[in-house]
Structures are given as structure tokens and as C-alpha cells.
Structure 1
């Protein structure tokens, strides 16, 4: 009888632990930190999503480097914002229909020199589109990553790479974001300890119902939204549900100051040095608590 009670108690404890791990978003603690997220690297100074842009972001003191992910035809994760390669390379077509070898043959830097002669550098010519693995090989656990899944179907590959390079559970912090709730919910099942950001792009004044916020709490640690459509009320309501708010894309001194005054917890910016130079602190900002 005594052994049966012990077994029953252990099974019950395991059940509650399992439910708690599946249902709750990662915890974070209130601090005064205002997070600087280098949007596609320091993309105001170098070609976006290239090693040059990431290097500048790191040297500027950015808290996180942001990486958008696309998947190639042969299943490799690459740093690329658009579905197509047309805008940021000398090639054309959808990245998902190209092999990594074809992607690597593209010039991902010369376009920047042409469009930004004041920031042009000879070293930017013929830059490659990096893979996520190459980025991890370069920086390892010495930087913090803010990674976006640009489509569904890449979650297993992403989590496996994070584990392979010991980024999960290390001193390096990682936040994952997506416009696709399906992608985030899958990631939450695969690795429930990673903070997740649900992205929204509002076409009019941002609003969020209590019901929507309660639904977000189940898998997300915060919200990412376009700066020009968010106000103080929106941010306060998100905070009341324990959700951080990071705003994109905030590039001017005036806009950065406004984001701070509204109570935002951080910004995505093409010019991370502007935020760091101000040494800004938000009021009651949120900082993610890393999983043990």
C-alpha cells in the first residue's frame, strides 16, 4: 500500500511538471534594461544580413543581432529577409527554389555600395549570404541572437543548430520571433525554455484584447510591433499580462526617445550605436530570464 501511494504521488508530480512545461511561456524579470536589437545587423552601415553588418553590430555594443531565416531548396537555413534574392543580391528568384551552392554564388554586397555611396566600402563587394551555421561558427556563445522564422517548416533545423552549438542554456541569450504563431507554438513544444516574440504589423492604431493577450501568454514572452502604430496604452496593457514589447524599426534619435517614453522594452534599429550612445533606460523595462 505504501509503495503504491509513493508511485501515485510521483506520477502526479510528473504530470503537473509536464503540464507546467508545456503551458507556460518562459519567465522574465522586471529591470531597467532597454534592449538594443541590431536590425539585420548594423544594416544602416553595411549590407544587411552579411558578416560585415553583424560584425559592426557586435562592435557597436548591440544587445542582440537580429537574423531573418529563409530555407534553401536543399534544406539549409540562410540569413535573408525577403522570399526572393532580387533586392539584396545580383540574382533573382525565390531562395526556397535555389540550392545553397546557387545562393553562395550571389553577390550580396555591391547593391549596398550603389545605394549608399556615403557608406560604401570595397570590402562589401561580393559578400556572401551567410548560413545560420556560419554565423554560429563565427560568434558562438559570445553574442546574443534574435532570430526570426520567416516561414513554417524550419523549426526542427533551427532548434537542432541551437543545441549543436550549445547556445541554448549557455551564457549567450537567444530570442526567437515570428509573424507565424504556428511556428512559435511548435518551437515552444520543442524547446519551451526559449523566450518567443509574436510579431504584428499593424496598418492602423495597435490594439490588443484581453482575450488575445491571455492567449499569447501561453507561448510567448513578448510582442514585436511597428513603432508608428503603438502607444503607451498598448504597451501598458501588454505589460499587465507580463509581456515585453519591442518596436521596429526605430532609427532616429527622436523616435528612439519616444519609444523610451512610451515604456517600450527595446527597439530594432539599423543604427544600434545611436541607442547605445544615449545609454537609455526604459521605465520598468523587461529582461528575459534565461532558462537553467
Structure 2
């Protein structure tokens, strides 16, 4: 009887694994967990990334900032007050100072042991279990973090599991000079949509990242015709309003703050 139960558990586990793999293979749109599963855990923390992976995200998104002593950390804002109990610019702190901060209690007061993770810690925690969608930023208006970023990617052997995005062409071009094989996405500010030069972008990037409410079918088709993929991003407040329409334009990838909701929309669309 005990052997029968063990066999049954194994069959169910294998069946569940096959279903998840098959489901992800059939899905035509890639899902990026924006700042991790930030609607159910504090953004850009190890816990938020773990939950995103558990929910089936194709990529976890990592916004990078650089500390005073040169470490790359996962933080959206250039200051720390919104998501920690500290105050000031990330670039004014050494890593050991940032590590003493509470990066979780602000979120429903349930995550009191969360700290600001370094990119290296994220890579060491998840390895090849997931894919990484990483946003770079200029440091004092200069592309400074790019060489260190590429070095970390190469040391962990994650070249095939990383996409790098940025609003800064200078940052992306710096990475392209270092390693032409890393896929790059040129993010587009909402007020710059009419200025998109797909021929120029094609010289260094594989795609564009426009603001969803500014996207229409004609824009997506124009980018696809140029050989560029379209990875759209939202404001959290308007994602649910625009998601279904955006998916109907055959975009390639979507950022989402609500993984389960987006997966439900995709499942309905693909079953119709």
C-alpha cells in the first residue's frame, strides 16, 4: 500500500511538471515579472523573485543601481526611502550599509527579514532556474555599470538566460561593444514614441520596449517588419485596463505586475 501511494505521488508530480512545461512552451507571449511578484511581496527582493518563479514567470525583472563601493543591487528608485527604512541615494551608501536596512516591512508589515539583494546574490540563488530581464541605468550620466554586469553574467554562465533593457542607448551600445551576443531591448519613453528609429535601434538591439497605452497594431507591425521584437510595459494602475487589447496586437513580451491575472487572460485567449 505504501509503495502504491509513493508511485501515485510520483506520477502526479511528473504530470504536473509536464503540464507546466507544456503550458510555457505553448504560450506565445513571454511574461516578465515586473520587479518580481511585487503585488504579493516587497518588490525587488529574493522573496518576490521566488514567488514570481513559482507563478510561472518566464523572466524576473531586475532594476539595477550601483552602490558607492561599486556593487550592483536590485532597486528601482535612485533613493531608498520608498522601499526601506533608510533615507538617501543608493549611490551614497556602501553595500554593508544598505544590507543593514529593512527592505520588507513596508509591504504589509509581513516581510521583516528582507534585505536589498545584490545582482550576484540573485544569480547565486536562482542560477539557471529562470531567465533574467535586467534594466541598466547610467551612473552620474555615464555608462559605468555595464562592464561589471557583463562580467557577472559571464562568470555565472547565464549569457543564454539574460535580456538587458535600458532607456539609455549609450548603456546598451556599451554592452553591445563588450558582448554582441547579449540580447538588448531599447526602452521607449511615452513621449518619444513618434521618434522611434527602428533602423538605428536594429544596429545594437533585438527589440523595443514601448509604453503599452501608446502602442497600436500599426506600431507593432512596423517593428516586426524591421525585425525587432516588441516588449511592452505598463503603469501598475492601467495594466489590467490595457492588457487584453495589447495582447491582441501580437506583441512578443509583456511586463506584468499581476502574473496570475495575465496568465488567465492568455489562457482564455489561446483557448478561443
TM class, shorter-chain normalised?
Answer: 0.7 to 0.9
Match among 190, 214, 217 for residue 202 of structure 2: 217
Between the aligned partners of 2:56 and 2:27, the Cα distance in structure 1 is 17
Match among 186, 189, 202 for residue 190 of structure 2: 202
Match of 2:255 in 1: 268
Match of 1:135 in 2: 122
- How many pairs does the alignment contain? 239
Q: Residue 133 of structure 2: SS of its match in structure 1? A: strand
Between the aligned partners of 1:36 and 1:104, the Cα distance in structure 2 is 30
Q: Residue 90 of structure 1: SS of its match in structure 2? A: coil
State the superposition RMSD in angstroms: 2.0
Match of 1:7 in 2: none
Shift of 1:110: 1.1
Match of 1:232 in 2: 217
8 Å Cα contact 1:108-1:129 kept in structure 2? yes
Between the aligned partners of 1:140 and 1:60, the Cα distance in structure 2 is 17
Between the aligned partners of 2:190 and 2:75, the Cα distance in structure 1 is 23
Q: Mark the CA change 1:203 to 1:215 in structure 2 (over 3 Å): closer, same or farther.
A: closer
TM-score w.r.t. the length of structure 2 is 0.83
Deviates more, 1:265-274 or 1:77-86: 265-274
Alignment of 1:1-292 (within 5 A): 33-113=28-108, 122=110, 124-151=111-138, 152-169=143-160, 173-203=161-191, 206-208=193-195, 212-249=197-234, 252-280=239-267
Shift of 1:278: 3.3
Between the aligned partners of 2:41 and 2:121, the Cα distance in structure 1 is 18
Q: Residue 74 of structure 1: SS of its match in structure 2? A: coil
Give the 4+ runs in structure 1 shifted more than 4 A.
Answer: 250-254, 280-283
Between the aligned partners of 1:219 and 1:96, the Cα distance in structure 2 is 28
Between the aligned partners of 1:255 and 1:227, the Cα distance in structure 2 is 7
Shift of 1:249: 2.0
Q: Mark the CA change 1:141 to 1:159 in structure 2 (over 3 Å): closer, same or farther.
A: same
Q: Mark the CA change 1:32 to 1:217 in structure 2 (over 3 Å): closer, same or farther.
A: farther
8 Å Cα contact 1:179-1:199 kept in structure 2? yes
The gaps in structure 1 that reach 5 residues or longer are 1-30, 115-121, 284-292
Deviation digits for residues 139-177 of structure 1, max 9, x if unmatched? 0011100001022210111011001111114xxx21000
Structure with higher RCO (Cα < 8 A, 6+ apart) = 1
Deviation digits for residues 220-266 of structure 1, max 9, x if unmatched? 10111111111111111111101111111266544221111122212
Between the aligned partners of 2:91 and 2:269, the Cα distance in structure 1 is 40
Q: Mark the CA change 1:102 to 1:185 in structure 2 (over 3 Å): closer, same or farther.
A: same
Deviation digits for residues 44-101 of structure 1, max 9, x if unmatched? 1110000111011000000100000000000000000111111111101111110001
Between the aligned partners of 1:214 and 1:257, the Cα distance in structure 2 is 29
Between the aligned partners of 1:158 and 1:94, the Cα distance in structure 2 is 20
Between the aligned partners of 1:180 and 1:280, the Cα distance in structure 2 is 35
Deviates more, 1:72-81 or 1:251-260: 251-260
